[in-house]
Amino acid sequence: MKKTLFTGACTALVTPFLNGKVNYPMLEQLLKRQMEAGIRALVICGTTGESPTLCDAEKLEMFRRAKRYVGDGCLIIAGTGSNCTEHAVALSKAAEDMGADALLVVSPYYNKATEEGLVAHYSAIAGAVHIPVIAYNVPSRTGMDIPVSVYQCLSLIPNMAGVKEASTSISKIAKILASCPKDFVVWSGNDDQAAAVMALGGQGVISVLSNVMPVETQAMAQAALDGDFDTAADLQLRMLPLIELLFSEVNPIPVKAAMKLIGFDCGECRLPLTPMSRESHEKLKKLLSIS
């Protein structure tokens, strides 16, 4: 039986920039805030962290500094996915050397893969490291949806911890939970579905929302873990307007704007992502009650 890597809310952390470079002092502020809010797992250099525009050297330095800062107080989950298996293997091994506790690996994008190719891709990565690996399924970004049959195969790999499922299909999540071993964990990849996924048996959420509202996101997830679905649902619904605004434009454009509004200037996104539109920004200011 595999040990569950984490439960509750895990923040997919934004990458702060200053003058186009990674802002490491701000990164430490973000890490400190997350830990003080009770978050015990963080994804560094995921989609929300603008992984497509970060070079490997930047990613590895962020993994190293993040783990050095949090120590044993928080899991650092390194985003090491690529549509090139060889590259993903090399980056995953290097991330492990930098102290990462686990890996988040998005499915191959653009070139996609057959079911056989997906199993081979994840098997190669998991076999190259000694730390847990989380598959990441996000069809809206990758152009493909990992089928349940692939999860059944991946669940047999000793260090495949589970999946961040962002397909938006609750029915599919039910099928994963019904057909895979219980130690192959499902984490919601969508903030607006977190409570529902956990009601089915998911163990938490890998969240964009918790950049802005870490205490509340963790409270929602913990309520669901405790079986208090009335509280979890209430929190889910209360945060829904903000969740919708955070995804009103391409992530992480809105969440970076929100972080600046609440006092954490993480800089602008790197191109090709551009600043949030004025209309959406005004809605965000109003929702966050910032004049």
What is the CATH number for 176? Answer: 3.20.20.70
Q: Are 172 and 180 in contact (CB under 8 A)?
A: no
Q: From the centroid of its chain, how far is CA 64?
A: 18
Q: Which of 136, 151, 172, 256 is catalytic?
A: 136
Q: Centre a 10 Å sphere on the Cβ of residue 231 and count the other Cβ atoms it contains.
A: 16
Tally of domains in the chain:
1
Decide if 139 is inside a domain.
yes
Decide if 266 is inside a domain.
no
Decide if 165 is inside a domain.
yes
Decide if 23 is inside a domain.
yes
Angle of the 253-261 helix axis to the 229-246 helix axis, nearest 10: 100
Tokens of 221: 């997830």
Q: Which of 59, 67, 164, 172 is catalytic?
A: 164
75-113 in b/e burial notation, b at 16+ Cβ within 10 A?
bbbbbbbbbebeebbbbbbbbbebbbbbbbbbbbbeeeb
Within 8 A by CB and 6+ apart from 218, the residues are 8, 9, 37, 38, 39, 210
Decide if 270 is inside a domain.
no
3-class secondary structure, 62? helix
Decide if 249 is inside a domain.
no
Decide if 145 is inside a domain.
yes
Q: Is 260 a catalytic residue?
A: no
Is 0.95 surpassed by the pTM of this model?
A: yes
Decide if 63 is inside a domain.
yes
Q: Is 283 a catalytic residue?
A: no
Full pLDDT tens readout for the chain, 291 residues: 899 999 999 999 999 999 999 999 999 999 999 999 999 999 999 999 999 999 999 999 999 999 999 999 999 999 999 999 999 999 999 999 999 999 999 999 999 999 999 999 999 999 999 999 999 999 999 999 999 999 999 999 999 999 999 999 999 999 999 999 999 999 999 999 999 999 999 999 999 999 999 999 999 999 999 999 999 999 999 999 999 999 999 999 999 999 999 999 999 999 999 999 999 999 999 999 864
Domain range for 168 is 8-237
